[in-house]
Amino acid sequence: MPSIGVFDSGVGGLSVLAALRAELPHERFVYFADTAYAPYGERGDAYVIERSRKVTEQLIADHGIKALVVACNTATTAAIHLLRAEHPALPIVGLEPALKPAVATSRTGHISVMATRGTLASAKYAALRESFAGSATVRAVPCDGLVKAIEGLDTAAIAALCERYMVEAGPFGDAPGQVDTVVLGCTHYPLVKNELQRHAPPMLRFIDTGAPVAQQTRRVLASLGRLANDGEGELVLQGSGDLAVLEAAAAHWLQPRQQSTAVPAPTAV
């Protein structure tokens, strides 16, 4: 069965993968975690572009993928335009911080964006933020260290960092000047949404891009006649780092609805 490739610098893209599996239950997915070269969010564009190219080429060579989902905000902002230019026959779906739905749903007009420094410093994010300059006040909250804590399943660090960055994202509420919507601008962060909610009032809305990306992937595949409409879905795990770590993360963060197979990546990746 032709596969859909999904990649991230680590396990954060599993949040997008979960949405993809729910939306496209008959598809075969290959998830590539580039953990040996992570984190992308604290690297420069040239580094991220090089890794994105190599991972994409590896997914094409190993699995003949029929579509690619760049499940990483940093890789999307730095490299997706180049990947599309270099692989024009391959449909590629990326993501960006969900400012548009956040602005549409916010009642106070005050929004916080939690993301990596790489995403927040990118030209693409700056242009996105500028496009809503007259519609909302947007506060950037760089969450240093949170990706690393999630990658390492470090529950103590996750708890401490979530509390710290939620304080920086506030004050929360429905009153004028208060933040009522938080954008989770990194694919890792939805994995710890429950921990973030511990430091939020019930009215606070969290918005991420998993479901919209999954819906867009379905639309693209359907338009090209590449949608799988029957059969058992499958998940293959591949990565540049320790596969046992990736398998443990998948077991922790994903519902075990589909069988997964771990496939070592060639050392050249």
Residue-level pLDDT, tens digit, the chain, 269 residues: 789 999 999 898 999 999 999 999 999 999 999 999 888 877 788 999 999 999 999 999 999 999 999 999 889 988 999 999 999 999 999 988 889 899 999 999 999 999 988 889 888 889 989 998 889 999 999 999 999 899 888 999 999 999 999 999 999 999 999 999 999 999 899 999 999 999 999 999 999 989 999 999 999 999 999 999 888 889 999 999 888 888 988 988 886 544 455 555 544 44
Binding residues for substrate: 8-9, 40-41, 73-74, 187-188
Phi-psi region of 204 (alpha: psi -120 to 50; beta: other; left: phi over 0): beta
Distance CA 250, CA 188 (A): 13
Which CATH number is associated with domain 4-96+210-254?
Answer: 3.40.50.1860
Both tokens of residue 207? 């918005």
Please name the fold of domain 98-208.
Rossmann fold (3.40.50)
Residue with tokens 């479901």: 211
Cite the active site residues: 72, 186
Binding residues: 8-9, 40-41, 73-74, 187-188
- Predicted structure pTM score: 0.85
**CA-closest candidate to residue 72, choices 91, 89, 55:** 55
- Residues whose CB falls within 8 Å of the CB of residue 212, separated by 6 or more in sequence, listed in order: 95, 98, 101
Looking at the chain, the domain(s) classified CATH 3.40.50.1860 span 4-96+210-254, 98-208
